[in-house]
Structure 1
Amino acid sequence: MTDVLARLRDLQAGDLPVHGGRTLAYVYDSGLAEVDDIGRAAVAAYAGSNGLDPTAFPSLLTMENELVGFACGLLDAPRTAVGTVTSGGTESVLLAVQAARDAHPEITAPRMVIPSTAHAAFHKAAHYFGVGAVVVPVGPDFRADAAAMAAAIDDRTVLVAVSAPSYAHGVVDPVTEVAAAAAARGVRCHVDACIGGWVLPYAARLGRPVPTWTFAVEGVTSISVDLHKYAYAPKGTSLLLHRTPALRKPQFFASAAWPGYTMLNATMQSTKSGGPLAAAWAVVQEIGDDGYAALAGRVFEAVDRIVAGIGGPLRVVVPPDSTLVALATDDSCDPFTVCDEMAARGWYVQPQMSYAGAPATIHLSVSAATLDVVDDFLTALGASVQAAVEAGPVTVDDEVVAFIEALDPAALSDEDFDGLLAASGLLGDAASTGAGLVLPDRMAEVNALLDVASPAMREALLTAFLDRLSRPAR
């Protein structure tokens, strides 16, 4: 066992750090070591428990109902509200779409209306469940255009969705107006609060201006909120709350059409470890309402200090409503090089590609733990921007651009992909690497290449890239 654990530590050494506030994407750090210890202990204690049957493991049902009850208090839920613990925000969104579809079996070609800033999980749901996504452009403030979304609702619409906040820009959509339009047509309105659901309520208590978005808004029928984000629970748990049991009922799946046990599921999973649920419950119990208010104060202080410290070639794309900040550069440098320079200084910030006329950006997911290192962050960011300016904006060779533009995303061949790998420096010695890929230390040129590709081509290229990465180690 000692050798196995040593191997685990060696493997993990190459990963991004999950503590210390220096990874501003993918992970959310409370900065409280005792909370992390409790979460890990709960995962271990319940790793063998199975959430498939709540009558077999009633403690899991108790914890789930208590977590939903806590969330009901945060989200202004009525007494009729119900909820379910899922494996993450994507599953919560998938279930919201699936339930909306199955509530209307009479609609043969159902559709949902979403803003262009809606999380990609809605497109995944469209792909999985055959619910057409009607994508409505957002306004210049990156918020959903309520009037345009209302106009897009028709007799085939089963769901309208908005964000609190949107991931890419950190702003809350006009939930009140969109929900009213949906309700007037008898259509469900889902609020994707996976990022903001556990922190925006505390922002309001702290006196920060937050647009109304909870169940206090008439017409909001469901809300998703992640526990592994600003509830600071271990991965992966999320909640999907519905205003009434009747709205949730189509989410359930039951099948007695075989000789084994009758399958009954509230989520997409059947067998599921009790570990993440127990960890989320334990962390929420440990931190409590007052603790979350204090953590929210810390994260918003960090956000304010970061926003105030931005200048020079950098600008804040839109003032954030929550804990997410998007930064753009002027023509003297590019965001992809800034991201590389930050990584060289021990920080991870996330590059976001250009989209629909909006520029490529640097995305920050700020955690409570970031407050302790915010001065160091701003210093590193300033040095990274200066280095990026000195290097100049990264460019893609005109011949490579022409090659990409000539490709058909639907017919991308292995030979086409190999040509792009070679052009980007990602094609290694297949005999020695197995997958034939070499991951560079700096990604600016690769990201710049992806940035000139259309969204459909990006999808095709990254799918091919993932396929090459995911090969057996024999």
Structure 2
Amino acid sequence: MKLPETGWTRDQIFTALAELRAGDLPTEGGAAFAYVYDSGERAASELAAEAYRLFLATNGLDPTAFPSLLRLENEVVGFAVRHLGGGPEAAGSFTSGGTESLMLAVKTAREWAREHRPEITAPEMIVPATAHAALHKAAHYLGVKLVPTAIDPVSFRADVAAIAAAITPNTILLTASAASYAHGVVDPIAEIGQLALQHELLFHVDGCIGGFLLPYFRRLGAKVPAFDLAVPGVTSVSMDFHKYAYAPKGASVIVYRDKALRRHQMYACAGWTGYTVVNPTVQSTKSGGPLAAAWALLRAVGDQGYLDLARRTLEATRAIVGALREIDGLRVLGEPEMSLVAFTGEAPGFPLFALADAMKARGWLIQPQFSGFGSPANLHLTISAGHLAVKDRFLADLRAAVAEVRSAPPDPGLGLLLQAAASLDFSNMSEEAFMQALALAGVQGGRLPEKMATINGLLDALPPAAREAAIVAFVNDLYTHAEAASE
């Protein structure tokens, strides 16, 4: 972007921004079943935005300069402690999102092991195949070996026996999900907690997507397994506010059983000529906006308000899952305990990714998930309270889309691509070669085709490492400073 000679007017700026925003995924109205969480309450969103703006310029780097942020964080974390079964010694921190919370859980385990298990020089963490990719990212960033374990192929929950077999003298951390993003099921937390106690290991429960909502589902009569800090062996839990508390992104929290454990997540540096740096979380400078917005929503919506939002979410989920099980040709994976649903084709060869395209053409975003690790390729729905009002229209469109794709001829382009892919050595391909391969699927100039079925079919057929390399090549090409793209 080249700066204008003279500054734009407010009207020019917001006209340009509105034009850009018009091409984005709608964040309200229930059209999206991924990436956004719609409460259906515009007044709550506007209140959160106002609180965000009020604290936009504050800096969470130094609580002595902005004591308001210290007060807000202590109150928000205090709510999280109670909500997640923590005792009087529990402590936590507000973070920018689930990824940062999980990064801190892994850093804490690494630093705890350095202090209490100094004989470990090659630390390992055990991660079920359904655990969020952010745990993989944390292991990669922090130099901890990730040990994946199998899942039950029917329930899609973590396999406790596989976790037990994977524990070695180098293990420093066990992990599990409440609930798993892909299938919406809660891992057997109590049983894994016993393993943690038996082997004197830290145990983190990723409740980023379920930690806020599951206790409300339990109060509404749903069968929700125990998963929080009240479970023996659990040493930390993460929970996002920008999911089912409907706060603006990014707003998350990680809660530990005590302050002594939380100390290991912190970083301090006095080895330079400036001020002494003390960072409770990964970020240093950070706006107080997300924290203020989360605090404001918790106060404004209140316990009964969130219980009502949970009731609407549960009702929408039950209606959609029930309807999915009645649509000929579709199969729900597992028994979702959350408002997260995965479904696939009943028979091999069902045009699953074409179904996602057909729904997109009707104005709905549903998320493709690729096969692997005991789970078939499927389509994912993240259901929010705002979907209750549109569920009937969504299901009518889904039935029509299923009929459409089942009657359509097979995609000849995908067959040719898969045949070509079978002869390629993806382990030694250059980034340029990857981009050439993606171009065969319609990806050119850093832009995706309108219909994604062909490229999704190709990606699903690739081994995970090759899939990662292909996507990295595409994203590396997508983010460009080309003047032609901005003028």
Bin for the TM-score computed over the shorter chain: over 0.9
**Alignment partner, residue 395 of structure 2:** 378
Shift of 1:150: 1.7
Mapping for residues 120-269 of structure 1, pairs under 5 Å:
120-140=133-153, 141-269=155-283
The match for 1:53 is 62
Residue 327 (1) aligns with residue 336 (2): no
Instruction: Specify the code of the residue in structure 1 equivalent to 2:152.
Output: G
| Distance in 1 (alpha carbons) for counterparts of 2:233 and 2:166 | 17
Determine if the alignment matches structure 1 residue 28 to structure 2 residue 41: no
Which has the larger displacement, 356-365 or 403-412? 403-412
CA contact (8 A) 2:128 2:176 kept: yes
What is aligned with 1:67? Answer: 76
Q: 1:69 to 1:442 in 2, by over 3 A?
A: same
Aligned to 1:465: 474
**1:174 Cα shift?**
0.1
Question: Is the aligned partner of 1:401 residue 2:418?
Answer: yes
The answer as to whether partners of 1:117 and 1:138 remain within 8 angstroms in 2 is yes
Paired amino acid for 1:224 = S
**Greater shift after overlay, 69-78 or 245-254?**
69-78
Output the CA distance in 2 between the equivalents of 1:223 and 1:356: 25
Q: TM-score, normalised by structure 2?
A: 0.93
Q: Which amino acid aligns with 1:473?
A: A
In 2, Cα distance between the equivalents of 1:473 and 1:49?
33
Give 1:282-431 correspondences, 5 Å limit: 282-310=296-324, 311-331=327-347, 333-394=350-411, 397=414, 400-427=417-444
Tell me how far 1:383 sits from its aligned partner: 1.0
CA contact (8 A) 2:39 2:386 kept: yes
CA deviation string 1:312-365 (max 9, x = no partner) = 111111120011000111336322111111110111000101113421101000
Deviations 1:125-175 (A, max 9, x none): 111011111111001210011122122112111100000010111000000
Once residues 412 and 284 of structure 2 are traced to their aligned partners in structure 1, the CA distance between those partners, rounded to angstroms, is 48
Residue aligning to 1:437? 446
C-alpha contact 2:151 2:374 (8 A) present in aligned 1:
no
> Does the aligned pair in 2 maintain the 1:345–1:380 contact within 8 Å?
yes
Contact conserved, 1:153 with 1:182, CA < 8 A, in 2? no
Asked if structure 2 preserves the Cα contact closer than 8 Å seen for 1:68 and 1:239, the reply is yes
1:281 deviates by 0.8
CA contact (8 A) 1:395 1:448 kept: no
Q: Would you say the 8 A contact 1:396–1:448 is kept in 2?
A: no
Following TM superposition, by how much is the alpha carbon of 1:399 offset from its aligned partner in structure 2, in angstroms? Answer: 5.1
Aligned partners of 2:58, 2:310: CA distance in 1, in Å?
Answer: 32
Checking the alignment, whether the CA contact within 8 Å between 1:48 and 1:273 is kept in structure 2 is: yes
The answer as to whether partners of 1:159 and 1:189 remain within 8 angstroms in 2 is yes
Q: How many residues align?
A: 466
Q: Distance in 1 between matches of 2:431 and 2:85?
A: 52
Q: Which runs of 5+ in 1 are unaligned?
A: 428-435
Q: Which residue of 2 aligns with 1:101?
A: 110
**Match of 2:44, SS?**
helix
Aligned to 1:433: none
Match of 2:4 in 1: none
Comparing 73-82 with 418-427, greater Cα deviation is found at 418-427
| Displacement of 1:69 | 1.1
TM-score in terms of structure 1 length: 0.96
Q: Sort the Cα spacing of 1:84 and 1:394 in 2 relative to 1 into closer, same or farther, 3 A.
A: farther
Q: CA deviation at 1:437?
A: 3.2
Deviation sequence 1:41-79 (CA, Å, 0-9, x none): 111111111010111111111111111111122111111
Give me the whole-angstrom Cα distance separating, in 2, the residues matched to 1:244 and 1:226: 20
Q: Is this contact kept in 2: 1:350–1:364, CA < 8 A?
A: yes
| 1:456 to 2:465 alignment | yes
Q: CA deviation at 1:390?
A: 1.5
Q: Residue 231 of structure 2 aligns to a residue in which SS?
A: coil
Alpha-carbon distance in 2 for matches of 1:39, 1:302: 24
Match of 1:115 among 128, 137, 141: 128
Displacement of 1:394 in angstroms is 4.1
Contact 1:337 1:394 in 2 (8 A): no
Q: How far did residue 305 of structure 1 move?
A: 0.2
Distance 1:456 1:389 in 2: 31
